Amino acid sequence: GGGGGGGGGGRVVTPTGLRAAVGARAPHFRDHSQQDAAEFFAVAVDALSDEMRDAARASAARSAAPDGAPLRPALTAAGGSGRAGAEEGESTLPVPQNFGGEVLKTMRCFKCGHEWRRCEPFSSLSLQLPAPAPGGRRAPPSLQSLLEEHLAPVSLEVTCERCGHAYAALTQHVSKLPRLLPLHLMRFDYSRERLLKRSDAAAVSTALDLSFAAHSETAPPPLASPKAVSRSHAAAAAAAAADGHRATTPATGGGAEHGRKRSLAITGPSPHGGGG
């Protein structure tokens, strides 16, 4: 449709090929029925990640010497040699570089006090909306408050590794910050007798502060090259001029100062009106 306006000279992109590619991986996206946008995004990103990884591995295999001895495959050049080097090289591909985050989960047994940890990667976070208020009157929750609630300490039903007790306290820290953090609002309410899609509003700000979930060893987002940062700034400015949104600094642009603050910038609607 229209809406570009302004005579900016932009071109229209038809996503038919993208939808067909995603539909080949997830058949329920092939037709024109309404589907979940967050699921479409997740499938598309996973497919892109798998294809780029497979292409990188194939390129590395082709660069092997005739006798089977590897020369210096592109995939392992950045990360050394062997399996560990290959895994490190794969971590530099675009999808993990931009969307690759990690959360450190610490469980502490309520009975014996034993602690154990595990790290879980994430490429997006699904945030739960608060329970509906009586009478339906409540100020819209902010994305910041929903994010803090998502990572807040909770009681968890899990078997202790030491004594076998069934409950532990769970605390979560973000151990690795991504460049880009997609947030998904869980709008389907399964607690009622019938499935209900909620239309609650949420307050969107232009920045999210993750310092509450960071610790001393939290890794900042991977830094982009100066040229890449300049291009991302220019692209953000062009998009802002085209659709009335305010451009904000990408998460990669903060350097060491960004690493200390451990905050992520996101784009949001202009306070003077415009899109959503």
Closest CA to 108 of 50, 156, 48, 168: 168
Burial of residue 175 (CB within 10 Å: 0-12, 13-18, 19+) is buried
Dist CA 97 CA 219 (whole Å):
13
pLDDT (tens place) for every residue of the chain, 276 residues total: 444 445 556 889 888 899 999 999 999 999 888 888 889 999 999 999 999 999 988 888 887 655 555 544 444 434 444 455 556 678 889 999 999 999 999 999 999 999 999 999 999 999 999 988 887 678 999 999 999 999 999 999 999 999 999 999 999 999 999 999 999 999 888 766 778 888 889 999 888 999 999 988 899 998 865 555 444 444 444 443 343 333 333 443 333 333 333 444 543 333 333 333
Dist CA 89 CA 56 (whole Å):
9
| pTM greater than 0.85 (yes/no) | no
Closest CA to 268 of 202, 187, 186, 169: 202
Closest CA to 143 of 98, 97, 181: 181
State the greatest distance between any 2 C-alpha atoms of the chain, in Å, as a whole number: 75
